[in-house]
A = this chain, B = another copy of it.
């Protein structure tokens, strides 16, 4: 089984890189599919699953609650959704070669020796990319956009810290870090594909 995990800063183009890489290599691609599957199995609304996953489970959801029983209920749901997510990721990975974007798949699947890629870019470049792909209704100022990017990445950092001693985005935790600043994502696919060949080709 060949598994490639893509961790990425928000707005760095990591998702596009992952999708294009999967197409190039003929691998399955999983991202949003994971949330959909959790929601289906647990008979929950996708947006609810999303919001629970984004709040980073236990420790973070506490700040949103005022009564102890509420805290307990949220924690219970979050823990159960996180467990379900880990189960689904393992199941998907077992199906065959794939690229998985985000969701701490690099840590969850560690024993399968995935190729671990981290995608990042400078803030200016990320803001630009976010504007380019923003829904037409979304009208954030540059300041708000920057704040949104930082907040989302802080969440990723925190959720990663629950599972691993190496911080999210620390190069030691990845085989390759790719800086997409001023680069066209499409142009980077061959380099990552060659790295994958080297990784999966080694004995």
* Contact indicator A195/B202 (Cβ below 8 Å): no
A70 at the interface (CB under 8 A from B): no
A137 at the interface (CB under 8 A from B): no
A129 to chain B: closest CB distance in Å?
15
Count of residues in A whose CB is under 8 Å from the partner chain: 28
Q: Given the complex of chains A and B, what is the CA–CA distance between A179 and B113 in angstroms?
A: 14
Copies in the complex: 2
Q: Given the complex of chains A and B, what is the CA–CA distance between A169 and B171 in angstroms?
A: 9
* Contact indicator A202/B179 (Cβ below 8 Å): no
| Contact (A171, B202) CB under 8 Å given A176-B177, A177-B177, A194-B194 | no
A160 to chain B: closest CB distance in Å?
16
Q: Given the complex of chains A and B, what is the CA–CA distance between A69 and B169 in angstroms?
A: 46
5 more A-B residue pairs beyond the given contacts A118-B171, A188-B198, with a C-beta to C-beta distance below 8 A = A122-B172, A176-B176, A176-B179, A187-B198, A187-B201
